[in-house]
Amino acid sequence: MSNTNTNFSAFFTNFKSVFREEKVFSANYIPNHLWHREEEMESLVNYFRSIITEPIASSRKVVLYGPVGTGKTVVSRAFGTDLIKHLKAKHKPGDPVFRFFHVNCRKTKTPHLILTTILRQLVPGFPLRGYSVDELLRMFSLLLHEQNLVSLLVLDEIDYLLPDNRTDFLYALSRIEEGNPKLRDDHFSNLPGNQNESRFNLLCCTRDKNFRYHLDSSTISSLGRNFITFPPYTRNQLFDIVNSRAELGLCQKSFDDELIESIAGLAEEYGDARFAIELLWRAAKLADREKKEQITVEHVRKAVVSVLPIEKSIVDDLSTHQKLLLLSIAKLLINNQPFVTSPEVKNSYVSICEEAGVHPRRQTQVWAYLKDLARLGLIQQEVENRHKNGRSEGRVTNIRVRDIPVEEIIQTLSHLIEDSS
Ligand SMILES: Nc1ncnc2c1ncn2[C@@H]1O[C@H](COP(=O)(O)OP(=O)(O)OP(=O)(O)O)[C@@H](O)[C@H]1O
Ligand SMILES: [Mg+2]
């Protein structure tokens, strides 16, 4: 009989992962602290404060707008979770019970499915088929009254609902308790409680700046006025977000400020926290795969390739001197440096030209090539004003490689030097 305790067990026990808690990198993880969203969270609380103070007196509809990875989902989910806790703690007999529904419209694509998903949470085993959207809306409204509930529905990634569906559905939802004749036909004329009660609140998350212009005028009047904008994160904000995720999920020794700084630098252009966190996670995975205890900037560069695929043909199409320049940058960065300065690049370029047996181009031409490489998205340049003891030491340009691991650049371009020797 074979001994099953051989090959893998040795691997498992000897393996020292850079991860402490990998789950903090998962999509539905909600961190305890949300960075740099204080204003947006305050607006959210202000709009929905009546859920706490006068739960059934008025109904609120709010839209969160922001580009990819700006925290709309995590903020809305954290808001719902905290609201549940808060209202549970102060609940007294007879008070309405708060129910929070978070529906992702990319996964739950039709109004019918959205409503059955909600109803199944209120009535276990509620049938998936057999009712029209209008009927489901009425049942939802009725259940809110019958079960003495006050609700907040988040329609996340609402852009994925088909435009026609979206307009009609939002119209119906925005009127759910405002005497819509469709909702208040004979069957519902005997609803318990006051007809002016409002037990339904709505929060829509969208990436579409023009969201409100796709609504019809009556829906705009109830939904389109309350907008909270989530701007893209700045580099420093991304640093804080990624750094705190690293502290939660990784071994202390596996990362340092320089690594997090390089991730924030790469993600800055998009202002996207998801991209930044995913870069860190992938870089950490690569470090594990290579059995390294430290995550390096090179791991991050390799990770970028899998997150953002880049066209190798861009490098193939460069002129010889542009390639030599890129190679000289890559050679400087191979020792896990996050960036190099322009004078360093110039010196390295001159010596690489010598190795390749070609005359280096003049400085102005080299700067023009650097601009070309930046325009093609291969490098990123930043001007830094340097100070020492309070005195200005002038400006220097820092250069980073984007999207391609420097190892790969060196492998692809080294023939330019080797062929000539
Ligand atoms: N302020 C923040 N503090 C901590 N983590 C954050 C913050 N903002 C976003 N994140 C994290 O970044 C990732 C992306 O955030 P989220 O999913 O909320 O973005 P989104 O705006 O909903 O993006 P999309 O438009 O693609 O749906 C998540 O892992 C989230 O936890
Ligand atoms: Mg989202």
Residue 204 CB contacts under 8 Å (≥ 6 apart), including other chains? 61, 62, 63, 64, 154, 155, 158, 170, 211, 223
pLDDT for res 17:
92
pLDDT, one tens digit per residue, over 187-217 is 444 444 445 678 999 999 998 877 877 777 7
Architecture of the 37-229 domain: 3-Layer(aba) Sandwich (3.40)
pLDDT for res 310:
53
pLDDT for res 405:
79
State whether the beta carbon of 249 lies less than 6 angstroms from ligand 1. no
pLDDT classification of 12: cutoffs 50, 70, 90: low
Query: Does the pLDDT of residue 175 top 90, yes or no?
Result: no
Reading the block at residue 195, the tokens are: 């007809």
Residue 307 CB contacts under 8 Å (≥ 6 apart), including other chains? 275, 278, 279, 282
State whether the beta carbon of 348 lies less than 6 angstroms from ligand 1. no
Region of 29 on the Ramachandran plot (φ > 0 left; ψ -120 to 50 alpha; else beta):
beta
Q: Domains of the chain: which residue ranges?
A: 37-229, 233-307, 312-418
Nearest to 376 by CA among 325, 300, 420, 302: 325
Ligand 2 center to residue 154 CA distance, Å? 11
How many other CB atoms sit within 10 Å of the CB of residue 2? 5
Q: Which fold has domain 233-307?
A: Helicase, Ruva Protein; domain 3 (1.10.8)
State whether the beta carbon of 174 lies less than 6 angstroms from ligand 1. no
46 vs 235: CA distance, rounded Å = 28
CB of 255 closer than 8 Å to CB of 287: no
Nearest CA to ligand 1 atom 17: 73
Query: Does the pLDDT of residue 223 top 90, yes or no?
Result: no
Ligand 2 center to residue 171 CA distance, Å? 22
Instruction: Report the residue among 74, 211, 279 best suited for mutation to probe ligand 1: largest number of ligand atoms under 8 A from its CB.
Output: 74
CB of 245 closer than 8 Å to CB of 81: no
pLDDT for res 241:
98
Query: Does the pLDDT of residue 4 top 60, yes or no?
Result: no
pLDDT classification of 317: cutoffs 50, 70, 90: confident
pLDDT classification of 102: cutoffs 50, 70, 90: very high
Ligand 1 center to residue 52 CA distance, Å? 26
Ligand 1 center to residue 27 CA distance, Å? 9
Chain-centre distance for alpha carbon 272: 5
Ligand 2 center to residue 68 CA distance, Å? 7
263 vs 281: CA distance, rounded Å = 11
Nearest CA to ligand 1 atom 16: 71
Give the CATH number of domain 312-418: 1.10.10.10
Nearest CA to ligand 1 atom 13: 274
Least reliable range by pLDDT among 62-71, 317-326, 339-348, 403-412: 403-412
pLDDT for res 191:
47
262, amino acid identity: S
Mean pLDDT of the chain: 86
Reading the block at residue 55, the tokens are: 């739960």
CB of 290 closer than 8 Å to CB of 393: no
| C-alpha separations of 330 from 83, 198, 344, 402 in Å | 51, 62, 12, 11
